[in-house]
């Protein structure tokens, strides 16, 4: 159970990539706050599984909309439809990403464009869509998910790391431009988080030992560690926080 933020009750929250991993936990945690949650994903199986889980918990159900984040027209129309029917979005959580490993030699122009579309481009256009409504109500919180991989320079996913470093610049620019409208923009930078995807593909016993040896905290971080911070940054409890990057990595950087 996360902390309770009374101001998040009935707030409209839009989350990309909310069907699995960190995103799914963020969706669940906002539902626990009685927020009006809208999330998009292309993974129907995982999204439906999340909806079933939330229904069993008997908390406020989210609205799932199938949407490919690389289809900017559909993404923006999805957001615009919500705003037309329900009013301005109060909180935007730009979460969707893909951290498939790759070397420099494996990257061609098509792959570069696709990775940038998945890990950076939609952040900008989702924000562009919600900010119009936020300006009218003179409030709003945008939270952009980055990654410590670019800070560490891990070298096994160069395009992903490039995009995730750019998220920080995007955040700071948005914060400065929209601050006069009382719209806050912050980044959350997760470290090694034990999602199902990470466990399945990369979190081997050897790699886990390497992570724990490098972290100040000697435990594996979970999606809840990230989701709890996202809630705080969406809430009025963080009303003085903007243009900042908050690292959740157990002290690995």
Catalytic residue numbers read 160
State residue 36 phi and psi, 5-degree precision: -90, 100
Supply angle C-alpha 220, 145, 100, rounded to 5.
Answer: 70
Maximum separation of any 2 CA atoms in the chain, in Å = 51
- For residues 171 and 20, what is the distance between their CA atoms, to the nearest angstrom? 24
Between the alpha carbon of residue 45 and those of residues 29, 35, 68, the distances in Å are: 20, 23, 15
In a domain, 71, yes or no: yes
Between the alpha carbon of residue 191 and those of residues 6, 125, 138, 196, 215, the distances in Å are: 29, 25, 33, 15, 10
In a domain, 213, yes or no: no
* pLDDT in the model for residue 18: 98
In a domain, 92, yes or no: yes
Q: Enumerate the β-bridge partners of residue 63.
A: 38
Instruction: Report the share of the chain in percent with pLDDT over 90.
Output: 93
Looking up residue 118, the CATH number of its domain turns out to be 3.40.50.720
In a domain, 211, yes or no: no
* pLDDT in the model for residue 62: 98
Mean pLDDT of the 165-191 span:
98
In a domain, 111, yes or no: yes
Supply angle C-alpha 63, 8, 68, rounded to 5.
Answer: 35
Instruction: Judge whether residue 61 has pLDDT over 70.
Output: yes
User: Tokens 């320079």 identify what position?
Assistant: 153
Residue span of the structural domain in which 188 resides: 6-193+222-248
In a domain, 89, yes or no: yes
Instruction: Judge whether residue 202 has pLDDT over 70.
Output: yes
pLDDT in tens, 12-50: 999 999 999 999 999 999 999 999 999 999 999 999 999
Confidence of residue 121 (pLDDT cuts 50, 70, 90): very high
Q: How many CB atoms lie within 10 A of CB 201?
A: 12
Confidence of residue 203 (pLDDT cuts 50, 70, 90): confident
Give every CB contact of residue 50 below 8 A, 6+ residues apart in sequence. 18, 19, 20, 24, 27, 28, 64
* pLDDT in the model for residue 56: 97
**Domains of the chain: total:** 1
Strands 140-145 and 91-94: parallel
pLDDT in tens, 67-101: 999 999 999 999 999 999 999 999 999 999 999 99
In a domain, 164, yes or no: yes
pLDDT in tens, 127-145: 999 999 999 999 999 999 9
Supply angle C-alpha 49, 54, 55, rounded to 5.
Answer: 95
Confidence of residue 199 (pLDDT cuts 50, 70, 90): confident
In a domain, 148, yes or no: yes
Instruction: Judge whether residue 1 has pLDDT over 70.
Output: no
């Amino acid at each position: 159970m996360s902390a309770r933020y009374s101001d998040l009750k009935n707030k409209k929250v839009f989350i990309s990539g909310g069907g699995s991993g960190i995103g799914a936990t963020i969706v669940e945690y906002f539902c626990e706050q009685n927020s009006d949650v809208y999330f998009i994903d292309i993974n129907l199986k995982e999204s439906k599984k999340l909806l079933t889980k939330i229904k069993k918990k008997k908390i406020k159900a989210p609205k799932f909309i199938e949407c490919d984040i690389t289809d900017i027209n559909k993404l923006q129309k999805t957001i615009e439809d919500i705003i037309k029917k329900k009013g301005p979005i109060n909180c935007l959580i730009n979460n969707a990403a893909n951290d498939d490993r790759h070397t420099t030699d494996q990257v061609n122009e098509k792959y570069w464009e696709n990775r940038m579309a998945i890990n950076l481009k939609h952040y900008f256009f989702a924000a562009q869509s919600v900010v119009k409504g936020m300006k009218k109500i003179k409030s709003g919180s945008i939270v952009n998910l980055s990654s410590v991989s670019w800070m560490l320079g891990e070298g096994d996913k160069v395009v992903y790391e490039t995009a995730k470093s750019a998220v920080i610049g995007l955040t700071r620019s948005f914060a400065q431009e929209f601050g006069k409208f009382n719209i806050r923009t912050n980044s959350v930078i997760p470290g090694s988080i034990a999602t199902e995807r990470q466990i399945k593909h990369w979190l081997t016993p050897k790699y886990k030992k390497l992570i724990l040896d490098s972290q100040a905290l000697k435990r594996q971080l979970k999606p809840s560690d990230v989701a709890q911070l996202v809630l705080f940054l969406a809430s009025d409890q963080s009303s003085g926080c903007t243009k900042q990057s908050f690292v959740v990595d157990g002290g690995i950087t």
